[in-house]
Chains A and B, each alone.
Chain A
């Protein structure tokens, strides 16, 4: 074998050995065991400490609160949603205490009015809802029910509708003029819903050409404050249509939004 070829081979061999040695020291031990990564990273990440203990851990000691909580409207709200991370408290119950939020600013974070919140979700206007009082003086946070007789207005849960309606031509029409609301709706709104007008004739009581004294429905005089909304009736004429010629196949609310009718 020519000398230069031997040298070349020796060089290649040395490079090869250097590569194998370098690889042995540089590539982590568990790399490639499962995939193209360090398998030891998985148990390392899984060993991180837990800060939120989970609601099951709370039930071991606080069975009374949990029992009330699990029957109330907050039953799907975790303990740590309000009380904060409590794993440290589970470890050391006497020295580490989780937060007990009693301040008024706390509850509106969920229950303050926000137009993007789903309609029907209980929302209040913090500026006007019993200002200065702590929420927990009237509402039991573990099993909240509205205080007796409350909500006094539909706006407590249907804020978005109430606000829309307040700026519309229907502002002076009380909710109960169109919706029949069973008492139970205050407690279990989804299982006992309020009714909606089911016939065209219902809207026609005011808006049909023939409506008026004959139907027995009288419109309050213009500019008079109605008792339940406190708003003045608008001083334009009620729009009238011929019920036999106008949209016979549809219910009125299929085209018109009754909370904000388009005529202004």
Chain B
């Protein structure tokens, strides 16, 4: 390299060429993004859950299974029945999708009882993503934690790592699987199937960054909590007025 030969004219010419190349590349990429009219970087999804509205009908579980072809015996979203008894016990029971279970104790021994819907929390700081040895599970630019089923080796580290028990092994493909926030729906402008069918509005889905989204409005007016905040997983699923017994 003959650096001494680089005079001002040549330097400016090179700068101009570099700028032109950068501009062309930029225009080309924005055009490419516009063709597939969805830009992941413009979105950040979240969900709020209002346990006080949940009626435990399990329509969400049914819809999730139908929408995502979830195999029998596994769930991506589920509903827990919490029963706090007058003698200080806390009983947690997963409700059955088809035949709803009844309260496990005599009604007059119940201090308070309620349902809590659960699903993958789509953590900003997801333990499952950290432990994946091959990079098959990842956080998308729009904040959704997904599993690349073609790349997963089925080692189950992520299933163990998830503090919320949100993952399972799909025995048909022998790969890890979990809630995707119905990624195929939200990228087409629909809401996740569980939100679509929830009859009581216990699930609120939307953009976290956009002020004009039902979620953002709900978050402004509700007292919110995340599950297991001490783990610093920074979930994108928020619970309103959550009972202290809920784990």
Contact = CB atoms under 8 A, between A and B. Distances in A.
Interface string B147-161: 010110000000000
Interface in B175-234: 180, 183-185, 187-188, 190-191, 193, 196-201
A121 interface: yes
A90 B69 CA distance: 19
A139 B230 CA distance: 48
A14 interface: no
A46 B201 CA distance: 25
B240 interface: no
A42 B66 contact: no
Interface stretch (B11-19, B22-30, B136-144): B136-144
Interface string A29-46: 001001111100111111
B6 interface: no
Contacts of B55: 110, 114, 117-118, 121
A204 interface: no
B103 interface: yes
Given A42-B146, A52-B193, A114 B103 contact: yes
B115 A50 contact: no
Nearest to A84: B66
B126 to A, nearest CB: 12
B196 A54 contact: yes
A80 B196 contact: yes
Contact of A52 (B40, B54, B197): B197
B100 A114 contact: yes
Contacts of B103: 114-116
A47 B184 contact: yes
B52 A118 contact: yes
Contacts of A77: 199
A121 B115 CA distance: 14
Interface string A137-148: 000000000000
Is chain A's interface secondary structure helix, strand, loop, or mixed overall?
loop
B2 to A, nearest CB: 31
Contacts of A54: 190-191, 196
Contacts of A34: 141
A40 B140 CA distance: 11
Given A46-B183, A78-B199, A52 B67 contact: yes
B201 A76 contact: yes
A55 interface: yes
A86 B108 CA distance: 42
A126 B44 CA distance: 43
A177 interface: no
Given A81-B59, A163-B107, A50 B140 contact: no
Nearest to A37: B138
A28 interface: yes
A210 to B, nearest CB: 33
Contact of A115 (B107, B136, B138, B146): B107
A80 B197 contact: yes
B49 interface: no
Given A45-B183, A77-B199, A78-B199, A52 B66 contact: yes
A38 B151 contact: yes
Nearest to A35: B138
B74 interface: no
Contacts of A216: none
Given A38-B135, A42-B140, A44-B150, A50 B56 contact: no
5 contacts: A44-B150, A50-B185, A80-B197, A109-B58, A114-B55
Given A52-B190, A164-B107, 12 more contacts: A37-B148, A38-B150, A38-B151, A42-B146, A44-B148, A46-B183, A48-B68, A49-B184, A50-B67, A52-B185, A109-B59, A114-B102
The 4 residue pairs across chains A and B that have the minimum distance between CB atoms? A37-B138, A41-B148, A48-B184, A77-B199
